[in-house]
Amino acid sequence: MTTGARADLEAGHVTSRRGGALPASSATAGLEQAAAAEGGNIRKDLFLAYKTLGVVFGGLVTSPLYVYPSMNLASPTKDDYMGLYSIMFWTLTLIGVVKYVGIALNADDHGEGGTFAMYSLLCRHADIGILPSKKVHSEEEPLIHNQSAVDRRPSWLGKFFERSITARRVLLFMAILGMCMLIGDGILTPAISVLSAIDGLRGSFPSVSKPVVEALSAAILIGLFLLQKYGTSKVSFLFSPIMAAWTFTTPIIGVYSIVRYYPGIFKAISPHYIVHFFLRNKKEGWRMLGGTVLGITGAEAMFADLGHFSKKGIQIAFMFSIYPSLVLTYAGQTAYLINNVNDFSDGFYKFVPRPVYWPMFVIATLAAIVASQSLISATFSVIKQSVVLDCFPRVKVVHTSQHKEGEVYSPETNYILMVLCVGVVLGFGAGNSIGNAFGVVVIMVMLITTIMLTLVLIIIWRTPPALVALYFIPFFIMEGAYVSAVFTKIPEGGWLPFAVSMILALIMFGWYYGRQRKAEYEMANKVTVERLGELLARPEVQRVPGLCFFYSNIQDGLTPVLAHYIKNVSSLHAATVFVTLRYLLVAKVDERERILVRRLGPAGVYACTVQYGYADSFRGDDLTAQVASRLRRHVEAEAGAGAEEAAWLEAAWKAGVVHVRGKMRFYVGEDAGWFDRVMLGFYEFLHGICRSALPALGTPLQRRVEIGMMHKV
């Protein structure tokens, strides 16, 4: 309770928000309820913080397994290790604490994080989007529309992006590249984590060969991917105790190692050790940054996995468990290596005391499995975001929670990740090679996040220029140095994430380009209500019995496929409902607001908007019955012949229901440019193999009709 509230209470009243005075008893009850609600929120945040250990921080907190082994050190000295620890400490502090916990987690888009979420956020606050994406609505939209003109006026940078199509395309490319790199991270994190943990077998059993370690790692990963269909909540409930055990045992061993080997290790926190490290090692010191960057591996998952948990839960978990755990663990490892300078290739297991070696091996193996979960979950999130933005071919996305919008699972994505991840383990084998590849994606995603966060600071938050510079310059220099170092690793394995990212970027850009051209054509040739009346007035056009649901993506007007359909078939069902789907960022839409209907000009023609949330499910028969029922009630409520029209609709319903979806295809003529021929041909290939929108609605196959239309380019 605040001092002011307590004084008012003692005076016998508390002023309400509306200006009245509440009795002391009511004030006491209100304050008690507020305190109880606050206590409940704290308990909820602590529980979510505990659950994040099993999903969000797996990759980050298990990085001590492979950071030192991934470094190609040549005759390291005590001063080298002091410099390396100083670099890792400040990297964790600046990137982990300041950038992600302090800034990035506040740049969410309706609870979603990651580069695509920031892109969506920027597009909603300035006219800089070039995606032909479906409109995504939120309950917060009225608040946005009611903002003052000053708040909604674009900043100078927003105006620059609005004027420059090239700048907008570069921004989109950055968002795409960030997503693709994060997926590459999702391939490499499981591979390097599990492989590094299982490699501990060879410490006590030198006879165990590398192929055996690789086969065991692949088997563990296959089992993990098969668990994904049960959902993040169930997985985190199972894995959080494991990760909690890892998070709290490794720093204990770290403290033991510090006391035994080198109590003065924390002198290395002084930045002058970093300066001396680079002055002493010069080019080799710069190259070693490619290994130290792995110490911040998985930090991007804090932001990308935001939709699965909550900002406070992630912040609490990082600041009070993950960050101190890593600082102490790396300090213990470094203290051991200062006294055993050549043991860096097995830097984790060598510093574990022999009496607890096998318990730690078991915990490390289980923790590595958990580590794999963080980026797998993040990959599902970014795939879902890009599908919703219509920037990725439709794949099946299953919401595994009725209460949390971000908890999703994509079967196609899951099994492709599994194949690639197992392929990396069996193909690369050695942890050094995977580490070289890993560093590239880790720091590239972080640099992209830094640049896009700067845009958020300027365009949306209107941060003063001095504070923007204070954020951007240090992080750009630091991450730029890391990028320059890891680029030298491309011939040594770093090519893999680039190959995966380029393939994914090609898929996304090809899909985007095709959808953009399709949207341009539809908007230029949309059918107005007046045009529909003219088409139906033709003598050759017949109204056939039955009820037709005609699906359209256009909010203002009707799809040009409709005109194509009427001209060629010369008919339209007696009762035709043009259905537009509207995705709301809520769990479930109230039944009274789910289906909105209105009458269009011609007789028997209606428009229907179906609003749905992320936890709503559709079954074709149920949806059809709900729309028909809502239509009958709508016409009955109208004056005049409402009852007669309702009976007529009932007869149309009984005559049969059909669901029609227009499918516009491109015909690329000989006179088209080579770019259109390549990109639109690729789009047609993707469109042919991706999922149809109608099955997602659960419409019965025997009632489904697709109308094709060719558009010559």
Report how far residue 91's alpha carbon sits from residue 98's, in angstroms, rounded to the nearest whole number. Answer: 10
520 pLDDT above the threshold of 60: yes
**Token pair recorded at residue 495:** 């090519």
Q: Among candidates 445, 53, 71, 98, which has minimal Cα distance to 294?
A: 71
pLDDT tens-digit map of 668-704? 777 777 888 888 888 888 888 887 665 556 667 778 8
Contact in structure between 192 and 431 (CB atoms under 8 Å): yes
Report how far residue 153's alpha carbon sits from residue 600's, in angstroms, rounded to the nearest whole number. Answer: 36
**Token pair recorded at residue 347:** 């830097």
Q: In 10 A of CB 157, how many CB atoms?
A: 17
Q: Considering the entire predicted model, what is its pTM? A: 0.75
pLDDT tens-digit map of 237-292? 677 888 899 999 999 999 999 999 999 999 999 999 999 999 999 888 888 888 88
Parallel, antiparallel or unpaired: strands 408-409 and 605-612: unpaired
3-state percent breakdown (helix, strand, coil) of the chain, nearest 5: 70, 10, 20
pLDDT of amino acid 316:
93
640 pLDDT above the threshold of 80: no
Q: Among candidates 387, 479, 501, which has minimal Cα distance to 90?
A: 479
338 pLDDT above the threshold of 50: yes
Q: Please indicate whether residue 151 or residue 305 has the higher confidence score (pLDDT).
A: 305
pLDDT band at 33 (very low <50, low <70, confident <90, very high): low
Of the listed ranges 130-144, 179-193, 508-522, 557-571, the least confidently predicted one is 130-144
Parallel, antiparallel or unpaired: strands 13-15 and 21-23: antiparallel
User: Average pLDDT, whole number, for the chain?
Assistant: 80
Q: Please tell me whether residue 38 adopts helix, strand or coil conformation.
A: helix
* R_g of the chain computed on alpha carbons: 29
pLDDT tens-digit map of 530-541? 998 899 989 999
**Token pair recorded at residue 142:** 């009225």
